[in-house]
Amino acid sequence: MVILSDTEGGSSSSSPVDGHMYDVLLTFNGTDSRYSFPDHLYKALWAAKITTRFDNKQFQIGARLKLESETLTKTYRVSLILLSENYANSRWCLEELVLILEQCSTSNHTVLPIYYYVEPSDVREQQGSFGDAMARYRQEMEGETDANKKSQLAEKIEQWNKALKEVADLRGLHVKGGRLETEIIQDIVRDVNHILRRSIRSPLPLDLRFHPEMEQPNHHEIPLQAIQNSVAYQCLQETREERPTIGEVAFQLKEAMKIQLEDEIL
């Protein structure tokens, strides 16, 4: 398992004000031979001003992996999971996948699987190389003589099976023959940009959650200043190139005020 982390500077598509240090966590099994793809993807993400975590260390120590994974939803906004032929051969990859999916169920973190010359059905049903890897783990479990270790491994295998099925049910992107990898990388960057901008430019009523004034139990009592602050908060999170015009800001403010008035009438 490899986590790519930044080695160069760059401007982000999001501001640290939202509490995230990076936009993207890119994780994959570094033992796969076609190592250039994640490297090219990483560079393309940075070129698009998407801050991406990069680490040249090929393997992570278990304790460090657990620590980083447990804080990933606070550190990253999107996880790109590169599912390749040897992905399931790495226990660290499987452990990380379990932790990512567990945290995503209770957070606004987005997972985007990338099927690198593998099919979603192979991941979901544990066929091909995924089936071979899981069969080896089960064989190891059956041969374990220590009852505690056997029980622990059986629990791990169940978690890995569940995580692989869950990630395979998510919408993802495919890397396979018939298209240039550079074109597919452009698609991935575009999708990530869309995810990031969607989370920044969410509907104003949702953006209001960032403000203490919105925590009032009676939403009819929301002060106008809080709505204005919400619009300003949203706009400040855009990059210089993507910030809305004054006209767009005025329209958003007008719509937010309209929503409040309609609620009061109701």
Count, residues in the chain: 266
Cα–Cα distance measured from residue 161 to residue 181, given in angstroms and rounded to the nearest whole number: 29
Helix (H) or strand (E) holding 96: helix 91-104
Cα–Cα distance measured from residue 252 to residue 249, given in angstroms and rounded to the nearest whole number: 5
Cα–Cα distance measured from residue 261 to residue 82, given in angstroms and rounded to the nearest whole number: 47
- Phi and psi (nearest 5°) for 116? -95, 95
Cα–Cα distance measured from residue 26 to residue 104, given in angstroms and rounded to the nearest whole number: 15
Q: Identify which of 121, 126, 109, 134 has the alpha carbon closest to the alpha carbon of residue 174.
A: 121
Q: What pairs with residue 110 in β-bridges?
A: 78
Cα–Cα distance measured from residue 38 to residue 45, given in angstroms and rounded to the nearest whole number: 10
Type of residue numbered 264? E
- The CA-based diameter of the chain, rounded to the nearest angstrom, is 71
Catalytic site includes residue 96:
yes
**157, 161, 162, 168 alpha-carbon torsion, rounded to 10°:** 150
Helix (H) or strand (E) holding 24: strand 24-28
**Of 96, 119, 142, 144, which residue is the catalytic one?**
96
* Residues with Cβ within 8 Å of residue 163, at least 6 apart in sequence: 94, 97, 98, 101
Catalytic residues: 96
